[in-house]
Amino acid sequence: MHNGASNPGELGLAITGASDAGDYTLIEADATAYTGTCPTCGNVGVFRDHAHRRLVDLPVIGFPTRLRVRLPRYRCIHTACPMKYYQAQLACAAPGKKVTYRVTRWILQRLAIDRMSISATAKALGIGWDLTCQLALEMCRELVYNDPDHLEGVYVIGVDEHKWSHNHTKHGDGFVTVIVDMTGHHHNPKLPARLLDVVPGRSAEVLRVWLAARHPDFRHRIRVVSMDGFQGYTTASKQLLPTARRVMDPFHVVRLAGDKLTRCRQRLQREKYHRRGLRDDPLYKNRKTLLTTQKWLSEKQTRRLGELFSFDKDYATLQLIWQAYQGIIDCYNMADKRRAKTTMREIIDQMRLLKGPNRELAQLGRSLHKRLGDILAYFDVGVSNGPVEAINGRLDHLRGIALGFRNLNHYILRCLIHSGQLTHKINAL
């Protein structure tokens, strides 16, 4: 732990004594850096006496620390001033606050950098959970919502939904919309993405309201919006970001194709056996193999799939959608993006025109054709929603170390502390 008594000059204090008070270390000090002017009228008063102010400071060798600072008090001599007596204001702590400035910085560093919980941070300082949380949230608002440069330089964003609560609450169904800055990651994949904001709800209106509340310069600056297959986000971005390229994430395209493949397998299982799959049923036994990328299949798996497709003439339908699924994956793995784009368009057009027993394949073709421009845009701009999914995973970890959240506003601000790339701002406090 940081030794709070090792650098009294940082606080503007001269230490006069220290003692063990049981649960904490008590440090006596005289103020050397303070303001003696009246906080109401700004005039210099006449010295009256001394008073003491107690403050929470950084832990000393792992133990909570309390400061007992001796401060001068003054009498205001300005006749029109309603303030008769006032205490000098310290340079190391805000008026009326119970902690020094560097305690707030220390709290944010523990939460944002060390991924500590509120409870562990509060215990290290020897203060309550509520006070620790209040200090962190107040400063987070200053660093994010009150910072005019927070959205500066952002022109590639990702949008996705996130499940913050698995119980229905007053905030709705427990979903929020996550907006992520991927500008730096787009230029250098080694750079992490940055969480910009978390908005309650998941709908076109939610994203529309958030975008409308931003400055027009920000909206005009956005060039690329990456998102999943949810139509609501597409609608909102078309209305508020008409000049931006919309990209449907490859992961969600492949997952949609995989879901249709699984539904086709399940339908054939029910039609043939009139029940769900059992361990030795050919369709059920190959359920995972069907979803494996073809180039990673072993000889045994390839042979088993060949036997499956020839097992029944009705399984030709399954083979067709499996081939389309593998074709979509191959497009995303092609080095020649122009050829990949052309191939992807051909696959989607072929699926859309199918009729008859290939119902899942036709449904997949129609669904992908509705978002054809967004799907093909990936091959032009190369932006995916991978960084957004990574942040979603970090937020799941945050919810885990906090043992769940009940207050959505607290959760949103903790998310920004956790994944908002605020380290440089925190260290500058």
State the DSSP string of 125-188.
HT--HHHHHHHHHHHHHHHTTT-TTTTTT--EEEEEEEE--SS-BTTBSSEEEEEEE-HHHHH-
Q: How far apart are CA 124 and CA 388, in angstroms?
A: 33
Cβ neighbours of residue 63 closer than 8 Å, sequence gap 6 or more = 24, 25
pLDDT at position 336: 96
Range 176-199 average pLDDT? 91
Q: How far apart are CA 328 and CA 345, in angstroms?
A: 10
Indicate the fold that domain 156-249+384-427 takes in CATH: Nucleotidyltransferase; domain 5 (3.30.420)
pLDDT at position 186: 85
Q: How confident is the model at residue 170 (pLDDT cuts 50, 70, 90)?
A: low
pLDDT at 330 over 60: yes
Q: Percent of the chain beyond pLDDT 70?
A: 96
Range 55-61 average pLDDT? 90
Q: How far apart are CA 200 and CA 185, in angstroms?
A: 25
Read off the pLDDT of residues 293-321 as tens digits, 9 standing for 90 and up: 999 999 999 999 999 998 888 788 899 99
Tell me, rounded to whole angstroms, the distance of Cα 8 from its chain centroid: 37
pLDDT at position 7: 58
Domain ranges of the chain: 1-98, 156-249+384-427, 250-381
Contact, 314 vs 268, CB < 8 A? yes
Q: How confident is the model at residue 5 (pLDDT cuts 50, 70, 90)?
A: very low
- DSSP per residue, 317-350: HHHHHHHHHHHHHHHHH-S-HHHHHHHHHHHHHH
Q: How confident is the model at residue 205 (pLDDT cuts 50, 70, 90)?
A: very high
pLDDT at position 200: 92
pLDDT at position 168: 59
- 272: left (phi > 0), else alpha (psi -120 to 50), else beta? alpha
Contact, 56 vs 126, CB < 8 A? yes
Residue 213 structure tokens: 């509340």
| Top-confidence residue, 52 or 168 | 52
Q: How confident is the model at residue 47 (pLDDT cuts 50, 70, 90)?
A: very high
- The continuous run of DSSP H or E covering 272 comes out as helix 250-273
Our CA angle for 59, 65, 71, nearest 5°, is 130
pLDDT at 372 over 80: yes
pLDDT at 163 over 80: yes
Q: How far apart are CA 293 and CA 7, in angstroms?
A: 60
Residue 58 structure tokens: 């950084």
Segment among 112-116, 197-201, 322-326 with least mean pLDDT: 112-116
pLDDT at position 409: 86
pLDDT at 2 over 70: no
- As beta bridge partners, residue 50 has 72
Nearest to 199 by CA among 387, 415, 405: 415
Our CA angle for 171, 173, 174, nearest 5°, is 70
Residue 32 structure tokens: 């050397």
- As beta bridge partners, residue 421 has none
